[in-house]
Amino acid sequence: MPSDREVIGLHEPQFCGNEWDYLEECLTTGWVSSVGKFVDRFEQMLAEYTGVKRAIAVVNGTAALHIALKVIGVKTGDEVLVPTLTFVATANAVEYCGAIPHFADSEEKSLGLDPHKLEIWLNEIAELRHGECFNRQTGRRIKAVIAMHTFGHPVDLDPLLEVCRRFKLELIEDAAESIGSFYKGRHTGNWGKFATLSFNGNKTITTGGGGAILTNDEELGKEVKHLTTTAKIPHPWAYYHDRVGYNYRLPNINAALGCAQMEQLDSFLEKKRILAERYKFAFSKVQGIRFFTEPDFAQSNYWLNVLLLDDENAFIRDTLLKKLNTSGIMARPAWTLMHKLPMFHSCPRMDVSTAENIESRLINIPSGALLL
């Protein structure tokens, strides 16, 4: 096996801006915890870049999803439609609310939730009662849809939003992987009532750990900020909390890192698109495999680059993964589909054959801006 120094990472962070200066300021002033100027600045930078009215920084993307689901009214016993091709955090956040993930299929053109197949499925199993959607098969309310922008490639949002309107469903965009990605010229995160971001160490920009909630509803934004800061009523010294809140605040020292990273985001994205173009050219000459490119309605950040084997070559996926990793090139398969995980075996689902097919053929390859 190659040593760590010889391994080409899947998506390593790049620190070449003001990171050290901003972190030093936090340490020098002592503002390292949940209050400080960098939290406010980071939230403002996120809102301005994505075009939303309000961004609330939180401790990670999973916490962001949890709060988004709580605030839109997901309750114990509800169902939430979730792509089976997603990271486990998407389904876990539904469980945190006492709700049940209801797994949906994906489409190959975006790798994300298939709005047309979802509409056919809901026509079969859903009914409206008093302005709300119910699953005739289980008797449970279907409250929301989570659309995850897979590997940074936007879901086809317009037809999905129409499905949500027709069936009275709330839409949340799991944009954890898609900062810097645009759908029809507008940044992801502007279609759902909420969208969520992640700034884990392997994301396009990082705060070490961290996430954010985006919304175009100012009042809901205030509620989210309140709930994620333990529902404390502002006061110079008294501690009074008016609701059950959550200690999901992003520390100032992490936000400082995020501010420095946001200053470099355009540069990161430019490098990642150049890398994607080079991959596209290189693999255009290889038979039996193709480099996945953004759908025609989107501009993707190419967070993690994707190779798709032809159907007849799917059987060599694991052999390729082993060869790449033992050669010092970090590569991985898609996440194990949610309905295959033991804790979600009994959850409802539609036919997910496209997601199963994608999972069997997909390989992620090194994608960081640091490679250029």
What's the pLDDT at 2? Answer: 64
pTM: 0.96
**What residues pair up with 365 in beta bridges, in sequence order?**
305
Q: Which residue positions in the chain have pLDDT lower than 50?
A: none
- Which pLDDT does position 221 carry in this prediction? 98
- Domains in the chain, number: 1
How do 170-174 and 194-198 pair as beta strands?
Answer: parallel
The residue segments making up the domain with residue 58 are 1-372
List 9's β-bridge partners, or say none: none
The H or E element that residue 145 is part of is strand 141-148
Rg (CA), the chain: 21
The CATH number assigned to the domain holding 156 equals 3.40.640.10
* pLDDT for the residue 219: 97
233 in Cβ contact with 241 (< 8 Å): yes
Position 210, amino acid = G
pLDDT of res. 4: 57
Pair type for strands 126-129 and 132-135: antiparallel
Task: Determine the angle formed by the axes of helices 61-71 and 218-228, rounding to 10 degrees.
Answer: 120
- CA 326, CA 324: separation in Å to the nearest integer? 6
User: Distance between alpha carbon 134 and the CA centroid of its chain, in Å?
Assistant: 26
Q: Which of 206, 197, 214, 212 is closest to 51 using CA atoms?
A: 214
